Structure 1
């Protein structure tokens, strides 16, 4: 496999904290900073969530919180806990699929 010459530069500004976080992630990945940065810029993903999806996710989170609170109050699993969690999981999976 022929190695292509890398003679172009990409420059952008980051904070010192961001720089340290990026260096740490590169180190943890086993790549040097250039390899890691190049890989993330070419293969990384930014997931964009619409306001409507944020509203839906907030509602799902609220439902889960209410179920957990009920669980703690009664000290036993509410009748609909597992069904609600399954439904919530289906909604989350569908939302994730739409974002890809």
Structure 2
């Protein structure tokens, strides 16, 4: 159970993967899961703003929509930074020194 939790997997998933593959690759990090939850909350806010815009008109909600879009861009930037994995270097390759 501890290994499954560390890999951020359900116990059944962990057991299945280790039985079939012999190893379990870690799921999403706690940071990316938190960012995803934040995005879900903001998606709910966007839905509410959309409904309000239809009821009252966009002229009353455009400031909130622009602010929400700004925050969404910032969160997506955080997600990209958190999930960025550098490409392996060209170690072992012989470089031309001429």
The reply to whether TM is greater than 0.5 is no
Task: Classify the TM-score, shorter chain.
Answer: 0.3 to 0.5
Normalized against structure 2, the TM-score is what? 0.44
Normalized against structure 1, the TM-score is what? 0.43
